[in-house]
Amino acid sequence: MKKTLVWLPLVILLLTLAAVGCRREAARPPAPEAAPPGQAAPGVTATPTPTVAPGPRTGGVFRRLWDDPPTLDPHLTTDVTSAFVILEIFSGLVTLDYDLRVVPDIAERWEISPDGRTYTFYLRRGVKFHNGREVTAEDFKYSFERAADPKTQSPVAETYLGDIVGVVDKLNGRATEVAGVRVVDRYTLQITIDAPKVYFLAKLTYPTAFVVDREQILRMGRRWTEQPNGTGPFKLKEYKVGERIVLERNPDYYRGPPKLDRVELILSGGNPMAMYENDEIHITGVGLADLERVRDPRNPLHKELVQAPLTFDTYYIGFNVTKPPFDDVKVRQALNHAINKEIIARQVLSDLVTPAYGILPPGFPGYDPAMQEKGLKYNPDLARRLLAESKYAGRMPRIIMTVPGTGGSAGLDLEVIMDMWKQVLGVEVEVQQVEWATFLQELNRGTLQAFAGLGWIADYPDPQNFLDVLFHSKSPQNHTLYNNPEVDRLLEQARVEMDWNKRVELYRRAEETIIREAPWVPLWYSGERFALIKPYVKGYRLLPMLVPRLKDVWIER
């Protein structure tokens, strides 16, 4: 064999590498966190350009990337991918406005009884389903009954509607009707809950409480979501699985027709940055990989960059307080004090996160900036002292921290943290990576010693959603098994306290105690997120929570 031609493939290889080498990185599949950009990510407040802006005009198509929603049935929604679409097609008694306050939607006003347990909703007249039929209180009764029907198999009925008298009974087969929902007359609906819980209204903004068309469901059965007859600002015009969803303006929408003609959600995937630069989509999140390039003022894209507000989520490491060594509060506190979160946030995560010292995220109702000062800050001497005082000093048992995932690393931040624990305290922690379904199973069984890689994202804007749900000793989502009767008492009181300021004070005291007893290491609040929006797309709000917003978007061309 002639040796001369061995170099030919080598030349090919070198040429290949040269071509790839310079400049821009290959258009890689985009940042997944950008999964659907602006998912819960609240985006940025896209303020219209300050120059002379002509008034909103109708028409136009708004395009973005999205993923296949697991379901379009409001009563079965558990995730953001589905909720984003559902919020535009359906609606309910109340909704959230852009300031995250509960405001009237199909109900134009409501009254709360003096004992705080009975809500009377007065519906707007003339609200129509997409097919023209008027919405009445009977339709809401049907919808609540359906959501609470075990045959519907709603995974979240207990979470969002469980406070209504009779819902849990019906779900468990002990009743055939939800006693707490009553039709008073054609436009009046009464709902009774089991205790004067102030956060109940916020839960009604979630799709589980939305109204659906009984006639359609009876006629079409399980397939009714293929052409849903909703009440929202948009109708579902087309849904080609894996390809696209087209939403069309509902001209009879009771709060005024949307300006856009259509919204197209591209489901077939692709490279968001490339598609955005190609004008195939109008908005995209900007991932870590592209951030520097876009932030460069010399890049024309720089002008279209907008900053997203912080999302309401907190990432943390959880300790199972029933398992050694985490049954000793000093160990938990020591591990907290040994971490320098500022350095990690800045250098490892490029300031895309904000260090967290408390449970509630910034901007969340009930958030107190002073809480960050009460957190367990970086203090290596204190950390070492606490560890020495604990009962495991010198005889630390094996520590395994479990994270969900499939290969690769557990996350750069966690790796640095484990290193810090080793350097400051001499404590070695092993990481065990388990795929998601198995992780959930072990988490729910309470077998995990320590766990990370999780974040808690707000379902509704009320502190109960964080503090009570995560730290009350009897809450099923309390995976640290934290049990403090004093905190329980504060939380139970706050559930039914009607005065907002007193409630906030109760939650503040609870949060202080929780932070001090450290069942968690609070790690991060999602920090600055960035998105690119085409300059001719106006009115698109980026928000910390999922709120219907497409009706206010317009295209200026």
CB 213: neighbour CB atoms within 10 A?
Answer: 23
Return the residues of window 279-298 that contact another protein according to CB under 8 A.
none
301 binds another protein (CB under 8 A): no
Question: What number of CA atoms fall less than 13 Å from residue 244's CA on the CB side?
Answer: 15
Q: Which is nearer to another protein, 151 or 298 (CB)?
A: 151
The torsion angles phi and psi of 262, rounded to 5 degrees, stand at: -145, 155
Residue choice 444, 486, 489, 496 for contact with another protein (CB under 8 A): 444
Q: Which is nearer to another protein, 49 or 268 (CB)?
A: 268
Q: How many residues bind another protein (CB under 8 A)?
A: 63
Q: Which is nearer to another protein, 83 or 168 (CB)?
A: 168
**Least distance from another protein to the Cβ atom of residue 437, Å:** 3
C-alpha 339 chain-centroid distance: 26
Return the residues of window 306-365 that contact another protein according to CB under 8 A.
none
**Least distance from another protein to the Cβ atom of residue 57, Å:** 30
**Least distance from another protein to the Cβ atom of residue 262, Å:** 19
Distances in whole angstroms, Cα of residue 92 to Cα of each of 64, 160, 192, 224, 355: 25, 13, 17, 18, 36
Q: Single out the segment in contact with another protein by CB under 8 A; choices: 155-163, 186-194, 300-308, 528-536.
A: 155-163
The 8-class DSSP code of residue 463 comes to T
Return the residues of window 2-21 that contact another protein according to CB under 8 A.
2, 4-6, 8-9, 12-13, 16, 19-20
Cα angle, residue 227 at apex, residues 225 and 231 outer, rounded to 5°:
85
The torsion angles phi and psi of 416, rounded to 5 degrees, stand at: -65, -40
Whether omega for the bond prior to residue 325 falls within 30 degrees of 0, making it cis, is: yes
436 binds another protein (CB under 8 A): yes
229 binds another protein (CB under 8 A): no
251 binds another protein (CB under 8 A): no
Residue choice 46, 86, 164, 171 for contact with another protein (CB under 8 A): 171
Return the residues of window 81-140 that contact another protein according to CB under 8 A.
none
67 binds another protein (CB under 8 A): no
What is the C-alpha to C-alpha distance for residues 186 and 139, in angstroms, rounded to an integer?
Answer: 10
477 binds another protein (CB under 8 A): yes
Q: Which is nearer to another protein, 12 or 184 (CB)?
A: 12
Say if residue 509 is exposed, middle or buried (CB neighbours under 10 Å; 0-12, 13-18, 19+).
Answer: middle
Return the residues of window 502-531 that contact another protein according to CB under 8 A.
none
What is the C-alpha to C-alpha distance for residues 159 and 206, in angstroms, rounded to an integer?
Answer: 10
Token digits for 422?
């080793």
**Least distance from another protein to the Cβ atom of residue 71, Å:** 5
Q: Single out the segment in contact with another protein by CB under 8 A; choices: 70-78, 310-318, 487-495, 525-533.
A: 70-78
Rounded to the nearest 10 degrees, the angle between the axes of helix 329-337 and helix 500-517 is 90
The answer for residues whose C-beta is within 8 angstroms of residue 213's C-beta and 6 or more apart is 129, 131, 133, 139, 224, 229, 230
Sheet hosting strand 283-286, strand order edge to edge: 283-286, 529-533, 305-308
405 binds another protein (CB under 8 A): no
């320098």: which residue's tokens? 340
Question: Which is it for the CA torsion 151, 152, 156, 158, positive or negative?
Answer: negative
Q: Which is nearer to another protein, 42 or 453 (CB)?
A: 453
**Residue 262 belongs to what H/E stretch?**
strand 262-266
Residue choice 40, 106, 157, 283 for contact with another protein (CB under 8 A): 157
Farthest-apart Cα atoms in the chain, separation:
97
The contact set with another protein (CB under 8 A) reads: 1-2, 4-6, 8-9, 12-13, 16, 19-20, 24, 26-29, 68, 70-71, 73, 76, 78-79, 150-151, 153, 155-159, 168, 171-172, 222-223, 225, 241-243, 266-271, 274-275, 278, 406, 435-438, 440-441, 444, 454, 456, 459, 476-477
